[in-house]
Structure formats: C-alpha cells, structure tokens
Amino acid sequence: MRTVVLVTTALLLGTLLGTGCRSRTTPRDGLSGDGGDTVIPELYGEDGIPLDGQPFDLTRQRLEGTAFEPVYFGYDSFQLAPEEVAKIERIADYLNRNSRTVLIIEGHCDERGSNEYNLSLGEQRALSVRSYLVGLGIAAERVQSRSFGEERPAVQGTGEAAWRLNRRGEFALYE
C-alpha cells in the first residue's frame, strides 16, 4: 500500500514542465485544476537549498532492517542539538556508501499546540536535518522531507516523557 502511495507521489512530483521557465532548475507540476491550463508558477529568488532537480524516484522498495535512530528536538524548536548531530552523520555515511539509496526524513511534533503550526514545524525539523545532510555532501535530490505534524506520535500519553520522544525526525530509506 505504501509503495502504491509513493509511486503515485513520485509520478506527481516527477511530472516536469520545461517551457517558459527562467528558474535555474525545472519546477514540478504542483498545480492541477479541472483539466484546464496549468500555468508554471514563477519561483525566482529562492533561498535555502532547492528541492528540485531530478525527480525523486520512489518506485523502489522501502528498505527494512536499516533502522536509524530518530533525531530529537526541543519544544517548538527545529535546532539540531550537538548530541543529535552524530545520528545524522551516521546516515550520511550510509548514504555515501549506498549511492542508490534515497531518503525521506519524516518530521514529527508532540501533541501540544495547533495541528497546523505543528505540521509546519515538523516540516521545518525534517528540512533542518536535510540541510545538515546536504552540508555533509549528500545530493539534495536524494533527500525528501515529509511532515506528519502531531498526527503520528511514537509514544502515546501526555507529559514530557512522551512528548520528548515524539518531537523527532525519523529516517525512511528507499532503494
């Protein structure tokens, strides 16, 4: 089931529109209406690391049995604590040794606060891990973010013991 979903996503993300675009790289078709024309959005002056490039090929299988420890975060924070960085370096080593493997970083939050803000915060967490990986030399197009906000806690319950384990970035590898 997950594979089907990811294949669909890959196809959607992978639809390339090449004409009329002044952007450095090729934007993807993120817009679809009721069968009408699609105008290519203008995305100039981007900062940060570009998410585009070659479409993320997710037709491959999710790799099981390569569990990497989640990266944990402080409350309302997407800063990488020094003690968490080693976990990202281990992933980078793995990706360097396995050049056909691609990665989804799943960003999560604890249950407190608005679902909508937590969805954005989870994305920011995943993207800060991604940014660190890119800084270590991993190609940006091999790493995709996905936020679940507070929707998928690792641990049920309230209190800092549970919340601490829910503010996390998880790694899902595909080959």
Partner 1 sequence: MKMPLSGLTICLVFALLVACAPAATLTVAKGAGTGKESLSLADLQSSGEWGQLFALTLKGDLERSGWFVVGTGKYETLRVSGAAQGGPGGLRTQIEVVWPGGRFAWAEVSRDPREVRWQAHRLNDEIIRRVLGKTGMAATRLAMIGKHDGSDIYLCDSDGTGLVRLTQDRVTCLSPYWHPTGSHLFYTTFLRGFPCIYRVPTAGGSRTPLAQFTGLNTGGAVSPDQKLMALILSLPGNPELYILNLETRRLTRLTQTPRAAEASPCWSPDGQSIAYVSDASGSPQIYVMDAQTKRPRRLTMQGRENVAPTWGPDGRIAFSTRQNGYQIAVIDPATGAGTVLTSGPDHEDPSWAPDGRHIICSRSEGRGRSTLLVLDTEDRTQVPLFTRDGHWVSPEWSTRLAK
* Residues near partner 1 (CB under 8 A): 2, 5-6, 8-9, 12-13, 28, 30-34, 37-39, 41-43, 45-52, 56, 76, 78, 111-117, 119-121, 123-124, 127, 131, 144-149, 151-152, 156
Place of tokens 């969805």: 119
DSSP bridge partners of 145: 105
Minimum CB separation from partner 1 for residue 142, in Å? 13
Q: Which is nearer to partner 1, 32 or 98 (CB)?
A: 32
Minimum CB separation from partner 1 for residue 90, in Å? 24
CA distance 62 to 70: 17
Minimum CB separation from partner 1 for residue 112, in Å? 8
**What is 16-32 written as a DSSP string?**
B--TT--SSSPPB----
Minimum CB separation from partner 1 for residue 91, in Å? 19
Q: Which is nearer to partner 1, 97 or 160 (CB)?
A: 160
Minimum CB separation from partner 1 for residue 103, in Å? 14
Q: Which is nearer to partner 1, 90 or 157 (CB)?
A: 157
Q: Which is nearer to partner 1, 101 or 120 (CB)?
A: 120
The sheet with strand 143-149 has its strands ordered as: 71-72, 168-174, 102-108, 143-149
CB burial readout 99-129, b (16+ within 10 A) else e:
eebbbbbbbbbbbeeeeeebbebbbbbbbbb
Q: Which is nearer to partner 1, 26 or 66 (CB)?
A: 26
